[in-house]
């Protein structure tokens, strides 16, 4: 008897897989508070712009190959009129002719129990009007602090929308435990690492190169610690 063989043809369809899309990243909620009575600041510190600040973080808080490290998600915003009468002395101190005091402001932040000012379960991002004795309110400095895994960022309103040396990702780098680095010989237009600062004989540059391997390791060390701390508060 003649054997009959049935040949089956299998067609395998391959779907391109984006490693970045398939990977799961830790996501951090971000709460914004506008801590300045400056009318010019309030005109630009809108709901839409605060949402855009999250987009900026997601676009630029990245590795050298531009791949993500963590993700940020807009949670809420409190405008100045919402918090100007808060009992938190953090509000009145920041909105006054007072130079930045890293430890002093952190103490005031930690003692604040007003959820409109400090969301204990989110990363807190403050828009303020920086002040110094030399420059007055023309000071445009910004700051980020890990604060024992209760991070917050202070962004001068003049640096909103990624203005002046990549402030959002630079200060968020500090909030995740990173220190400054130097780039000898760099000018203002030199491509530099996100965490570059002004050093003797050099500029901080453009801060447009993502976090290096050592910096990513530091960030990832603090990610679960920050997550755990925020979840417990």
Q: Is the pLDDT at 168 greater than 70, yes or no?
A: yes
Assess if residue 43 is contained within a domain: yes
Assess if residue 35 is contained within a domain: yes
Q: Where are the beta strands (DSSP E) in 98-194?
A: 123-128, 143-145, 152-156
For residues 209 and 192, is the Cβ–Cβ distance under 8 A? yes
Q: Is the pLDDT at 19 greater than 50, yes or no?
A: no
Distance of CA 190 to the CA centre of its chain: 22
What's the structural domain count of the chain? 1
Assess if residue 98 is contained within a domain: yes
Assess if residue 16 is contained within a domain: no
Assess if residue 152 is contained within a domain: yes
Average pLDDT over residues 160-172: 96
Given this model, what pLDDT does residue 200 score? 80
Averaged confidence pLDDT in the chain: 91
Assess if residue 188 is contained within a domain: yes
Parent domain of 87? 26-232
Domain at 119, CATH number: 3.40.390.10
Between CA 233 and CA 228 the distance in angstroms is 9
Q: Is the pLDDT at 171 greater than 80, yes or no?
A: yes
Longest Cα–Cα distance in the chain: 103
Given this model, what pLDDT does residue 23 score? 67
User: 166-203 in b/e burial notation, b at 16+ Cβ within 10 A?
Assistant: bbbbbbbbbbbbbeebbbeebeeebebbbbbbeeeebb
Share of the chain above pLDDT 70, in %: 90
Between CA 34 and CA 91 the distance in angstroms is 9
Average pLDDT over residues 81-87: 97
Assess if residue 13 is contained within a domain: no
Assess if residue 18 is contained within a domain: no
């Amino acid at each position: 008897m003649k054997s009959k063989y049935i040949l089956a043809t299998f067609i395998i369809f391959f779907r391109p897989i984006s490693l970045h899309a398939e990977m799961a990243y830790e996501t951090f909620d971000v709460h914004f508070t506008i801590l300045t009575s400056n009318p010019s600041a309030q005109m630009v510190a809108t709901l839409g712009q605060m949402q855009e600040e999250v987009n900026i973080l997601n676009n630029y808080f990245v590795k050298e190959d531009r791949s993500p490290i963590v993700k940020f998600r807009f949670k809420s915003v409190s405008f100045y009129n919402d918090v100007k009468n808060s009992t938190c002395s953090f509000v009145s101190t920041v909105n006054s002719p007072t130079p930045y005091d890293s430890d002093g402001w952190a103490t005031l932040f930690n003692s604040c129990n007003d959820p409109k000012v400090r969301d204990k379960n989110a990363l807190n991002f403050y828009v303020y009007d920086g002040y110094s004795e030399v420059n007055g309110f023309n000071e445009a400095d910004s700051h980020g602090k890990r604060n024992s895994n209760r991070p917050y960022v202070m962004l001068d309103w003049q640096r909103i929308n990624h203005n002046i040396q990549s402030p959002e990702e630079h200060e968020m780098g500090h909030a995740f435990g990173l220190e400054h680095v130097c780039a000898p010989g760099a000018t203002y237009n030199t491509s530099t690492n996100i965490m570059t600062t002004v050093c003797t004989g050099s500029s901080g540059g453009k801060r447009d190169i993502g976090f290096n391997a050592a910096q990513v390791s530091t960030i990832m060390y603090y990610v679960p610690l920050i997550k755990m701390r925020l979840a417990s508060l």
